[in-house]
Amino acid sequence: MQKKSWTIAAVAAGIAGIGAVSAIAQETPQVSEPLSRSGFVLENGLAIPAFDPVKGRKLFAAKGCVVCHNINGIGGEDAPDLSAGHMERPMNAFDFAAKMWRGAPAMIAMQEDELGEQIELTGDDLAAIIAFVHDEKEQAKFSQADIPENIKAILEGGD
Ligand code: HEC
């Protein structure tokens, strides 16, 4: 975890005697590639996790999302297609979780039926999956080879 670079910028501005520290601190940080992959901690102690689409590609399959959700033609068709082309841009990452929350009653009932239990996810897992769902390039690499045998068996055994 690294501190956001704008904090350093704000301190530097203070040292330089520019009286606009608070205005700079309120600016939206520029999200660079390395920052978006490593995560950081906000001033208030909240950790913003890494958004790792490569890990997300593996988790999307291994956690079983693929049993019901389709990406580029791979996966089940019982639930909304999660291909990147269907996603809003820019999108607040938490809106993805909010959509899952809205769909939760139907989704959990189906998971218990098809996977035998509700899928367990950590915040890091979810951040990785959200990154994958919004990453067209990473989705282009998604293939049957990403799907573990146990999940494949459920997909093939489905209705
Ligand atoms: C057993 C089937 C099943 C599994 C597994 C499953 N989902 Fe779903 N999901 C659904 C269904 C069905 C809906 C639609 C619910 C509704 O419309 O009420 C849904 C809805 C959603 C939505 C909202 C889509 C929208 O456009 O509103 C998101 C996001 C989502 N799921 C993400 C995931 C993720 C991420 C995983 C894996 C961690 C996952 N789902 C696993 C069945 C599943």
Could you report the per-residue pLDDT of 19-29, keeping only the tens digit for each? 444 444 455 55
Binding-site residues, ligand 1, Cβ < 6 A: 63-65, 67-69, 78-80, 96, 99-100, 103, 106-107, 110-111, 114-115, 119, 121, 129
Which residues, 6 or more positions from 80, have their beta carbon under 8 angstroms from its beta carbon? 69, 86, 103
Q: What are the tokens at 119?
A: 């899928």
Q: What is the mean pLDDT of residues 142-148?
A: 97
Residue 115, judged by CB atoms within 10 A of its CB (0-12, 13-18, 19+), counts as: middle
Q: How confident is the model at residue 158 (pLDDT cuts 50, 70, 90)?
A: low
By most ligand atoms within 8 Å of CB, the mutation choice from 51, 59, 68, 86 for ligand 1 is 68
pLDDT for position 157 = 84
CA 44 to chain CA mean position, Å? 22
Q: How confident is the model at residue 15 (pLDDT cuts 50, 70, 90)?
A: very low
Asked if 39 contacts 50 with a C-beta cutoff of 8 angstroms, the reply is yes
For residue 13, is pLDDT > 50? Answer: no
Q: What are the tokens at 74?
A: 């791979």
Q: What is the mean pLDDT of residues 73-99?
A: 93
Residue closest via CA to ligand 1's atom 33 equals 65
Q: What is the mean pLDDT of residues 36-65?
A: 92
Range from 31-45, 79-93, 130-144 carrying the lowest mean pLDDT: 31-45
Q: How confident is the model at residue 114 (pLDDT cuts 50, 70, 90)?
A: very high
CA dist 53 and 71 (Å) reads: 14
Distance 40 CA to ligand 1 centre (A): 28
pLDDT for position 38 = 80
Q: Is the peptide bond before 29 cis (omega within 30 degrees of 0)?
A: no
Distance 3 CA to ligand 1 centre (A): 33
* Percentage with pLDDT > 70 across the chain: 75
Residue 114, judged by CB atoms within 10 A of its CB (0-12, 13-18, 19+), counts as: middle
CA dist 94 and 97 (Å) reads: 5
Asked if 52 contacts 93 with a C-beta cutoff of 8 angstroms, the reply is no
Could you report the per-residue pLDDT of 121-135, keeping only the tens digit for each? 999 999 999 999 999
CA dist 126 and 139 (Å) reads: 16
